[in-house]
Protein backbone atom coordinates (compact mmCIF):
# COMPACT_ATOMS: atom_id res chain seq x y z
CA UNK A 1 0.00 0.00 0.00
CA UNK A 2 2.80 2.44 0.86
CA UNK A 3 4.41 1.87 -2.53
CA UNK A 4 1.42 1.70 -4.86
CA UNK A 5 -1.53 3.54 -3.31
CA UNK A 6 0.19 6.91 -3.76
CA UNK A 7 -0.17 6.52 -7.53
CA UNK A 8 -3.95 6.65 -7.14
CA UNK A 9 -4.42 9.12 -4.29
CA UNK A 10 -5.44 11.90 -6.66
CA UNK A 11 -8.42 9.84 -7.80
CA UNK A 12 -9.36 7.64 -4.82
CA UNK A 13 -9.60 7.94 -1.06
CA UNK A 14 -8.40 4.75 0.60
CA UNK A 15 -9.66 3.01 3.72
CA UNK A 16 -7.39 0.06 4.53
CA UNK A 17 -7.82 -2.62 7.17
CA UNK A 18 -4.39 -4.32 7.17
CA UNK A 19 -5.66 -7.47 8.88
CA UNK A 20 -9.22 -8.24 9.95
CA UNK A 21 -8.37 -11.26 12.09
CA UNK A 22 -4.81 -10.99 13.51
CA UNK A 23 -5.03 -14.13 15.65
CA UNK A 24 -6.14 -16.23 12.68
CA UNK A 25 -3.38 -14.70 10.57
CA UNK A 26 -0.70 -15.49 13.14
CA UNK A 27 -1.90 -19.08 13.63
CA UNK A 28 -2.52 -19.67 9.90
CA UNK A 29 -6.15 -20.69 10.04
CA UNK A 30 -9.61 -19.27 9.45
CA UNK A 31 -10.97 -19.24 12.96
CA UNK A 32 -10.56 -16.64 15.67
CA UNK A 33 -9.92 -17.78 19.29
CA UNK A 34 -13.65 -18.43 19.71
CA UNK A 35 -13.78 -20.90 16.81
CA UNK A 36 -15.72 -18.42 14.67
CA UNK A 37 -14.83 -17.86 11.03
CA UNK A 38 -14.83 -14.07 10.55
CA UNK A 39 -15.10 -14.54 6.79
CA UNK A 40 -18.62 -15.89 7.28
CA UNK A 41 -19.77 -13.40 9.90
CA UNK A 42 -19.99 -9.97 8.30
CA UNK A 43 -23.60 -9.83 9.42
CA UNK A 44 -25.76 -7.72 11.67
CA UNK A 45 -25.01 -8.37 15.37
CA UNK A 46 -21.99 -10.43 14.36
CA UNK A 47 -20.63 -12.79 17.03
CA UNK A 48 -17.15 -12.28 15.54
CA UNK A 49 -15.60 -9.34 17.38
CA UNK A 50 -13.31 -8.55 14.46
CA UNK A 51 -16.24 -8.18 12.07
CA UNK A 52 -18.34 -6.20 14.52
CA UNK A 53 -15.55 -3.70 15.13
CA UNK A 54 -14.76 -3.29 11.44
CA UNK A 55 -18.42 -2.76 10.55
CA UNK A 56 -18.92 -0.28 13.40
CA UNK A 57 -15.97 1.77 12.22
CA UNK A 58 -17.12 1.80 8.60
CA UNK A 59 -20.61 2.87 9.61
CA UNK A 60 -19.19 5.63 11.82
CA UNK A 61 -17.63 7.24 8.73
CA UNK A 62 -21.02 7.70 7.07
CA UNK A 63 -19.44 7.40 3.63
CA UNK A 64 -20.44 5.77 0.34
CA UNK A 65 -17.86 3.43 -1.18
CA UNK A 66 -17.35 2.70 -4.87
CA UNK A 67 -14.78 -0.12 -4.71
CA UNK A 68 -14.09 -2.98 -2.31
CA UNK A 69 -11.14 -5.40 -2.44
CA UNK A 70 -11.15 -8.20 0.13
CA UNK A 71 -7.68 -9.77 0.04
CA UNK A 72 -7.43 -13.44 0.99
CA UNK A 73 -5.05 -16.36 0.94
CA UNK A 74 -5.84 -20.05 1.38
CA UNK A 75 -3.12 -22.29 2.78
CA UNK A 76 -2.85 -26.05 3.11
CA UNK A 77 -4.05 -25.72 6.71
CA UNK A 78 -7.52 -25.08 5.31
CA UNK A 79 -7.72 -28.78 4.46
CA UNK A 80 -5.33 -30.24 7.03
CA UNK A 81 -6.79 -28.42 10.06
CA UNK A 82 -9.74 -26.09 9.55
CA UNK A 83 -12.11 -28.21 7.45
CA UNK A 84 -11.76 -31.40 9.56
CA UNK A 85 -12.12 -29.39 12.78
CA UNK A 86 -15.19 -27.59 11.47
CA UNK A 87 -16.83 -30.86 10.47
CA UNK A 88 -16.09 -32.29 13.92
CA UNK A 89 -17.48 -29.24 15.68
CA UNK A 90 -20.66 -29.26 13.61
CA UNK A 91 -21.18 -33.02 13.89
CA UNK A 92 -20.73 -33.53 10.17
CA UNK A 93 -18.52 -35.64 7.95
CA UNK A 94 -15.29 -34.21 6.61
CA UNK A 95 -15.17 -34.45 2.84
CA UNK A 96 -11.63 -33.84 1.53
CA UNK A 97 -11.29 -31.16 -1.10
CA UNK A 98 -8.52 -29.65 -3.22
CA UNK A 99 -7.26 -26.10 -2.79
CA UNK A 100 -7.11 -24.36 -6.19
CA UNK A 101 -3.52 -23.90 -7.32
CA UNK A 102 -3.33 -20.30 -8.45
CA UNK A 103 -4.98 -16.92 -8.18
CA UNK A 104 -8.73 -16.51 -8.54
CA UNK A 105 -11.48 -14.02 -7.70
CA UNK A 106 -14.88 -14.33 -6.07
CA UNK A 107 -17.38 -12.03 -7.76
CA UNK A 108 -20.77 -11.03 -6.32
CA UNK A 109 -23.22 -13.17 -8.28
CA UNK A 110 -25.89 -10.49 -8.01
CA UNK A 111 -23.68 -7.91 -9.81
CA UNK A 112 -20.58 -9.67 -11.16
CA UNK A 113 -19.05 -6.85 -13.23
CA UNK A 114 -17.42 -9.28 -15.72
CA UNK A 115 -15.33 -6.71 -17.62
CA UNK A 116 -13.86 -5.36 -14.39
CA UNK A 117 -13.00 -8.84 -13.18
CA UNK A 118 -11.46 -9.73 -16.54
CA UNK A 119 -9.20 -6.68 -16.30
CA UNK A 120 -7.99 -7.75 -12.86
CA UNK A 121 -7.31 -11.31 -14.01
CA UNK A 122 -5.26 -9.99 -16.94
CA UNK A 123 -3.30 -7.74 -14.61
CA UNK A 124 -2.55 -10.60 -12.21
CA UNK A 125 -1.57 -12.91 -15.06
CA UNK A 126 1.51 -10.76 -15.62
CA UNK A 127 2.93 -11.75 -12.22
CA UNK A 128 1.49 -15.18 -11.38
CA UNK A 129 -0.63 -18.04 -12.70
CA UNK A 130 -4.42 -18.10 -12.69
CA UNK A 131 -6.15 -21.04 -11.00
CA UNK A 132 -7.57 -23.46 -13.58
CA UNK A 133 -10.99 -25.03 -13.07
CA UNK A 134 -11.27 -28.73 -12.31
CA UNK A 135 -12.57 -31.34 -14.76
CA UNK A 136 -16.14 -30.20 -14.08
CA UNK A 137 -15.35 -26.55 -14.83
CA UNK A 138 -15.51 -25.65 -11.15
CA UNK A 139 -13.34 -23.80 -8.66
CA UNK A 140 -14.10 -24.56 -4.99
CA UNK A 141 -17.04 -26.64 -6.17
CA UNK A 142 -18.72 -23.78 -8.05
CA UNK A 143 -18.89 -23.36 -11.85
CA UNK A 144 -16.70 -20.45 -12.95
CA UNK A 145 -18.42 -17.54 -14.68
CA UNK A 146 -15.27 -16.58 -16.60
CA UNK A 147 -11.60 -17.42 -16.39
CA UNK A 148 -10.42 -17.28 -12.79
CA UNK A 149 -13.73 -15.97 -11.43
CA UNK A 150 -16.23 -17.73 -9.17
CA UNK A 151 -19.70 -16.13 -8.70
CA UNK A 152 -21.02 -16.23 -5.13
CA UNK A 153 -23.76 -14.33 -3.34
CA UNK A 154 -21.48 -13.04 -0.62
CA UNK A 155 -24.20 -11.40 1.42
CA UNK A 156 -26.02 -14.70 1.85
CA UNK A 157 -23.00 -16.32 3.53
CA UNK A 158 -21.61 -13.33 5.41
CA UNK A 159 -18.64 -12.42 3.24
CA UNK A 160 -17.05 -9.04 3.76
CA UNK A 161 -17.42 -8.14 0.08
CA UNK A 162 -21.19 -8.63 0.35
CA UNK A 163 -21.59 -6.32 3.31
CA UNK A 164 -22.65 -3.16 1.51
CA UNK A 165 -24.11 -2.16 -1.85
CA UNK A 166 -20.77 -1.40 -3.51
CA UNK A 167 -20.69 -1.28 -7.29
CA UNK A 168 -17.24 -2.83 -7.69
CA UNK A 169 -16.58 -5.55 -5.13
CA UNK A 170 -14.39 -8.63 -5.24
CA UNK A 171 -12.58 -11.15 -3.05
CA UNK A 172 -9.11 -12.31 -4.02
CA UNK A 173 -7.57 -15.71 -3.32
CA UNK A 174 -3.91 -16.65 -3.52
CA UNK A 175 -2.41 -20.03 -2.66
CA UNK A 176 0.99 -19.40 -1.00
CA UNK A 177 1.68 -23.14 -0.55
CA UNK A 178 1.78 -23.68 -4.32
CA UNK A 179 5.19 -24.90 -5.53
CA UNK A 180 4.93 -22.32 -8.31
CA UNK A 181 5.00 -19.22 -6.07
CA UNK A 182 6.59 -17.63 -3.02
CA UNK A 183 5.31 -15.06 -0.52
CA UNK A 184 6.58 -12.11 -2.54
CA UNK A 185 4.88 -13.38 -5.66
CA UNK A 186 1.59 -13.72 -3.78
CA UNK A 187 1.89 -10.16 -2.50
CA UNK A 188 2.63 -8.92 -6.02
CA UNK A 189 -0.48 -10.70 -7.27
CA UNK A 190 -2.65 -8.87 -4.72
CA UNK A 191 -1.14 -5.53 -5.72
CA UNK A 192 -1.56 -6.30 -9.42
CA UNK A 193 -5.21 -7.12 -8.85
CA UNK A 194 -5.93 -3.84 -7.10
CA UNK A 195 -3.96 -1.80 -9.62
CA UNK A 196 -5.68 -3.51 -12.53
CA UNK A 197 -9.08 -2.92 -11.00
CA UNK A 198 -8.45 0.73 -10.27
CA UNK A 199 -6.95 1.35 -13.71
CA UNK A 200 -10.05 -0.15 -15.33
CA UNK A 201 -12.35 2.06 -13.26
CA UNK A 202 -10.37 5.18 -14.12
CA UNK A 203 -10.52 4.33 -17.81
CA UNK A 204 -14.09 3.08 -18.05
CA UNK A 205 -16.33 4.15 -15.20
CA UNK A 206 -18.41 7.29 -15.59
CA UNK A 207 -20.58 8.41 -12.69
Tens of pLDDT along 75-104? 999 999 999 999 998 999 999 888 999 999
The pLDDT, as a whole number, for residue 165 is: 87
* Residue 3: pLDDT over 90: no
Smallest CA-to-CA distance from 121 within 113, 54, 98 is with 113
Amino acid sequence: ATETASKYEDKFNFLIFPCISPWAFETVNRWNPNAIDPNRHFIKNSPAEECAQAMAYIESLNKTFLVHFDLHETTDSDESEFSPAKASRDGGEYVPDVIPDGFYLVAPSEDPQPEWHAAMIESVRKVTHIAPPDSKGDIIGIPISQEGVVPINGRSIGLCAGLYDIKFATTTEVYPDSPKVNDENCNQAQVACIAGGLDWIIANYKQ
